Amino acid sequence: MTLNVNEIRKDFPILARETQNGARVIYLDSTATSQKPARVIEAMNDYYRRSNANIHRGVHTLAEEATAMYEGARERIAKFINAASSREVIYTRNTTESINLVAYSWARANLKAGDLVILTEMEHHSNLVPWHILQMERGIELEFIPVTEDGLLDLETYKTLLDRRPKLVSFTHMSNVLGTFNPAAEIIRLAHAAGAITLVDGAQSVPHLKVDVQALDADFYAFSAHKMCGPTGIGVLYGKSALLDAMPPFLGGGDMIKEVKLRSFRANTLPHKFEAGTPAIAEAVGFGAAVDYLSAVGMERIAAHEHEVTEYALDRLEEIPGVKLFGPSADKKGGVAAFTLDGIHPHDVAQILDKDGIAVRAGHHCAQPLHEKFGIQATSRASFYLYNTKEEVDLLVNGLYKVKEMFG
């Protein structure tokens, strides 16, 4: 069953607004952050209006309501990714913090000088810099799975790297630039066969397709609410309970302790061991509402709709003289179209499109090494979600022809 996109769009208040130029907002930047349906906004508003209190510490009505909302959201998120237990769902600020939690807690407890971590050439800076820091601090070694010219991972080189017995393989499930869906299950299976732990950056995948962390057999899986119709300021680290139980706390303070004495402390049980201080309670409530919304729409339907729009967009963009697209064909990627327009800087492209209300991203998209790989400094990026239409793609294409006209 296909999506009724016109009805879906009514759920997102921002899509009804106009820009200062009187143009209707055409939002093609969901890879950076998605828009929020009214029910997410209302859920957070309702929490503040009716149940605002700190969690886990009070026995009064408001505290118990707030705790139930916060923990209820965790349970629904766990079900959404098919975690074995909600104890395996750790709230963080975002995907970046989730990856850093693994780097600071698991990695510093388990990696020493000379140990190998395998990454890929298509990683977001969030899955590069924490390992650079650890390399400088501990002397670990980093190697990278190459990206082919058509935007896929070179798995034969990966298999060769695995002969060096890495301790960790950390990779993105979907590239935020190329849109490439990497074969996560195969990468994980091969890593485990070589004795390695795996960490998956799911920031771009969880919003767009049905993710089953148990079927993937991922050891760690990181994602953010704000890219999946939820609020900013909250994300999740999924981890297998045996790994999380063995890891030292990431931050110290309130709520992550079972007992504190002047000269010692005992850490709390999962998941609270990794959630120090007053958390983002309203954001957790909004995260739960976002998961409910996506579940009601249906992840399979969302994925099918995005594929249809992306395939159409790639075909239309290829019609434009001077456009160069990056990444694989539509059947191997999510809703992303990164491109350059010959002789015109991506920032100029984005600014001119904005005059017609068309929002695209321009820059290196926190993936400078990947852009260097393709010999460019920046790209323009249009990205699509459940609320985008083929008509918006046509308006993008018309806008790019205007850009070409302005630059002669």
* Both structure tokens of 287: 């995260």
Rounded Cα gap, residues 205 and 174, in angstroms: 6
At 259, which helix (H) or strand (E)?
strand 257-261
The 3-class SS string of 314-379 reads: HHHHHCCCCEEEECCCHHHECCEEEEEECCECHHHHHHHHHCCCEECEEECCCCHHHHHHCCCCCE
* Both structure tokens of 94: 């975002």
How many CA atoms within 13 Å lie on the side-chain side of 133?
13
Phi, psi of 157 (to 5 degrees): -65, -40
Report yes or no: 62 and 53 within 8 Å, Cβ to Cβ: yes
Rounded Cα gap, residues 77 and 84, in angstroms: 11
Rounded Cα gap, residues 200 and 208, in angstroms: 15
366 catalytic? Reply is yes
Please identify which of the residues 129, 257, 366, 397 carries the catalytic annotation: 366
* Both structure tokens of 26: 């055409």
Q: Return the active site residues.
A: 366
